[in-house]
Structure 1
Amino acid sequence: MPRCANKGCQKEFDEADNAEGSCSYHPGGPVFHEGLKSWSCCNEVNKPVLEFDQFMALPTCTKGKHSQSPSAPSKPAPTKTETTHEPTISADGVETYGFSKLSTDSGPSEAPQQAVSSTSSVPAPAPKVEEEEEDDPSVQVREGTGCKRTGCGYKYVNEESRSGVCRYHPQGAIFHEGSKGYLCCKRRVLEFSEFLKIEGCKEGKHLFVGSKKDETKEEKVDCRLDHYQTPLQVHVSAFAKGADKEKSTVKFESQSLHLDLYLPSNKRVNKTLQLYGPIYPETCTYRILGTKVDIVLQKPSAISWPLLELPPPGTELPPGYALTFGVSGRTGTVGGKEIVLSPEELARRG
């Protein structure tokens, strides 16, 4: 049977039984702006979210008939801060984002640029390899439960489903100047529909329910992080609602951040971030608030960090990709200053 191409549906359907209202979908297109993700057709009803998994779970807003050729959503006009790169056409006819080399020429410019000297290099610690969660075979799985791993989409049918091969993306999605892809693999595309078709780059076991939880024991959980940077600081928000101010701690080292947050219902966030660049631990600060922990990391010099965390070995970022200098007090990564990279970073990208 054909598969519906409407965004948010993607179900197989019978053309002979395709009644009005049988398809629930998004007639608009995805909108990614300042780290927020939403649909253009219902962003007033379904508020923008930060996590890609939350975006994929946003409820559809329109009902109609299944279709194999959805109407193309209108494209928003580019903002002043956007730059255009020429796409290339792959062998299968898909436009793939083409990244240009970051220029390292030191020619004259209209406005004077402040020279930035790099500080003494601090050897980066080896990234911590975390074990991926696996299903507890004693936990029952309901039929139709989808695999939780990014990019898989397989649904549980019976016990044999557990032994199937899961192809997924172990790292998160990356959206930059119109291109879409995953940090764990190199392919970049322009169209969102093609992004959804990017096949997983790692094989493993499906994850339907995760490990069995013991209510009497402390539960280790993760928390969402948001961030922006100014020339000399990186502002991080760890969304951990109700963190105990007496027991929770945040510790800083030369290039790492340690979070130990005690949450209600016997939950705890205990994670270490290997930061992209060095910091001054003695001048970094944090505040534990009602819904989050605000953290200010002090950089030794005005150098832009492309990412908050140091990526795993072998990860290639698009040239020019960076967390640009932000505006204090705002969520996101949009600012008016040019990206300033260290001489070592410029040499690596040249």
Structure 2
Amino acid sequence: MPKCTRNACGQEYEDATNDAMACQYHPGKPEFHEGLKGWTCCKPRVHSFDEFMDIKGCQLGKHSSEPKHKDDPFKADLTKYDDVLPSEPQESAGTNKPVSASVAAAAAATGTAREPEPEPIDEDPAGIVVPVGTQCKRNGCSAAYVSEEESHQSNQCQFHPGKALFHEGNKGWTCCKPRATEFDEFLRIKGCTSGRHLFVGTQPDKKAQTEKCRRDFYQSGSNVIVSIYAKKINRDVSTIEFTPTALKVHLVYADGKEYDDDIELFAEIDPSASSFEFLSTKAEVTLVKAASAQWPALESSS
């Protein structure tokens, strides 16, 4: 299947289902200014590189597999960096994991040989079910899952185990030496380590990942408006369900944490007329009262 080349998409697609709503992408260019990162085509601004890569496209359209134009912000020729790219994964004596950049720098400064601290590298659990088409999560890799036999073999993934490093106009990774001045060049720096693809990763302990949220409400004669304050809600997997006497909330954050709440309501509502909306800082729920009477509280005391 062809793979979409639009910024922030990168999905494989079929021509039969490629309609005007299939692709969510950024038509603009990346913009970094005073520590903030975003796109010229929309307003969201974040601090970290990982958050920047998670900003969803602001425009809908058809997928496209056309090659990048030479002036596209994500197209660049990095052959000028080939002479400094390591030909083999960086290893330390007695370990097959990359040497920590901070440890290497400390050893060079003091002239002493110190035991390196390997960067932790996450792996998919054995036997994990991965949906076909899932994109590899490792930095510098964009491969999609095909099958267990083809996609979970050793040394198929070339990636960066370190973190993005931006300093004095130079952009690179903490795990290797190449540096670029333009963002598009930075994204195309080849991975310095080989290993298995990472499609799912270690699953978090849900009990340890439970998040608490503050909530409040106000009302009119016919509606009760409930605000549940939560940032970075994953709209694709979060749900809010209505029954005549209860509200069931399940929120999933971008970092995998979850919030669950079952609210027994003070009075009955009309579930079919009630609605909710995920905003940038909260989930806003509109409950339509079955009877036009004031609620002294949101929840039933029974």
User: What is the TM-score of this pair, normalised by structure 2?
Assistant: 0.46
User: What is the TM-score of this pair, normalised by structure 1?
Assistant: 0.41
Higher RCO (C-alpha under 8 Å, 6+ residues apart): 1
Q: Which has the larger radius of gyration?
A: 2
